[in-house]
Amino acid sequence: MRYKDPDGTMIPDEKDPRLMKRADPTKGEKGIYKVLTEGIDNDKDGQYNEDGPGGTNIGITFPHLYGYNQPGTGAWSGSESETYSLMQFVAAHPEIAMTMTYGSTNFCLVPMKGGRKSTANLSAIKIPQRYVRMLNADPVKTYTLDEVKEMMKAIVPPGTIVDDAMVAGMLDMGAVVNPIEADLKVFTALSEKYKEFLKGKGFTAKRLDPARDKDGSFELWSYYHLGLPTFSQDFWGLPEPPKTDTAAKSTPRTEPQAKPAEPVKDPVMTAFMAYNDKQLNGKGFVPWTEVPHPEYGKVEVGGVVPYADLLPKAEIIDSLLGIQVPWIFELVKEIPQLDIEETRVEPQGTGIYRVSAWIRNTRRLPFPLAMGTRNKVPPPAIVTVTGKGIHFESGRERTSLEGLGGFEQRKLTWMIRTENPSEVTIRVNPVNARGSEKTINLGGK
């Protein structure tokens, strides 16, 4: 709602008087109106609608970047039965290979973005007092991440891999807040493939960028904690505004809430008004209408009809879903496939054979993502070599395959002794990717 006030800072936009913008004194503009969300001072504290409707948004109650004591986030992360049950389900199913969320974000179209500020300064790490003696560190000096890793290598058992994740966890350096570059490259490639998929379906309309991911969302938890390929779709967004409004092209959509015309001129609102006039016949925006108000006397109410800027017209919903939902069937084709592409048996004499296997990830998605590698999830694929009457001179019956990037290949070799002709089976067993197996023959002495 808006009302005239000598201290007002808002004026109607000269290009579209239905919209409000902040007056710019440098241009000789003087504010006329104050703009508030429609309502009254229920609790008589001099503020209007500051408490919000209450309740919990289960979409922002997951662990990563959970907002403590924030509106809508609940009592604690996972406090709601829906959130907790979903987390339990995921924990009980380590075979989950990727996630897809249908909501306000669209990682299929616009991959998750960085830009969040981390609380950790990796170029100036101060060693906590409890670790100073252990690491033989100077309690006053600061160190780079690489320097700390070298200090830690001196105290861990031989063979232990000291990586960024180990240092961050040990020193309580806080959560990772931005996607890893290697993962972004994969997501961007799949985004381009998705755009081609839409183009092939005749879906070429340009739209504004979708909303950004929210702190505490399932999408962030899926990627940053579970290390899974994480995708989402929102199915519809405001059409791109006329070419003169170039700034609107990359502006995210507003959040779902009933609201008056935006207090500050907003390119998204400009785009909505164009959409409202052209496709909604003006029904998506309530004209400013004078009504009585118990505190302010005469005020004007108006603005966007709730959800008119977030939801498509009912008659096109089925077609939007029919075009975009099938993309999930294309995505699952990218789940890593760890194939035994070739095997080789080389007799070494006295019943000993050199057995080699080339294992290749024949899909675009790596196993696991870089974030999964950092978090050490999922567990490595296990390559097993089994057969009757065989003995390992080198190599083991079970070998960990730590990871394979998209379309990458790795060679494994064993020296196996057998007294008699034997069938040997090599199996690749990943927890949440596709594996393979191949049987070879060893001839005996």
User: What's the whole-model pTM score?
Assistant: 0.86
User: What does the alpha-carbon distance between residue 140 and residue 125 come to, in Å, rounded to a whole number?
Assistant: 10
Helix, strand, coil share of the chain (percent; to 5): 25, 25, 50
What pLDDT shows up at residue 78?
A: 96
E-state strands within 125-176: 125-126, 142-143
Report DSSP letters for 303-323, one per residue.
EEPTTTTTS--GGGHHHHHHH
3-state secondary structure of 179: coil
DSSP 8-state symbol, 89: H
Query: Which pLDDT tens digit goes with each residue over 264-280?
Result: 457 889 899 999 999 99
Inter-residue contact 415 to 395 (CB < 8 Å): yes
Report DSSP letters for 106-137, one per residue.
-TTTS-----PPPS--TTSEEPPHHHHHHHT-
User: What does the alpha-carbon distance between residue 17 and residue 234 come to, in Å, rounded to a whole number?
Assistant: 31
List the chain residues with pLDDT less than 70: 244-265, 444-445
What pLDDT shows up at residue 181?
A: 92
What pLDDT shows up at residue 114?
A: 86
What pLDDT shows up at residue 244?
A: 59
What pLDDT shows up at residue 264?
A: 46
Walk me through the domains of the chain, giving residue ranges and CATH numbers.
Answer: 125-171 (no CATH), 338-442 (2.60.40.10)
Query: Which pLDDT tens digit goes with each residue over 45-103?
Result: 877 777 777 899 999 999 999 999 999 999 999 999 999 999 999 999 999 999 999 99
What pLDDT shows up at residue 307?
A: 94
What pLDDT shows up at residue 200?
A: 97
Closest Cα partner for 234 from 116, 110, 356, 344? Answer: 110
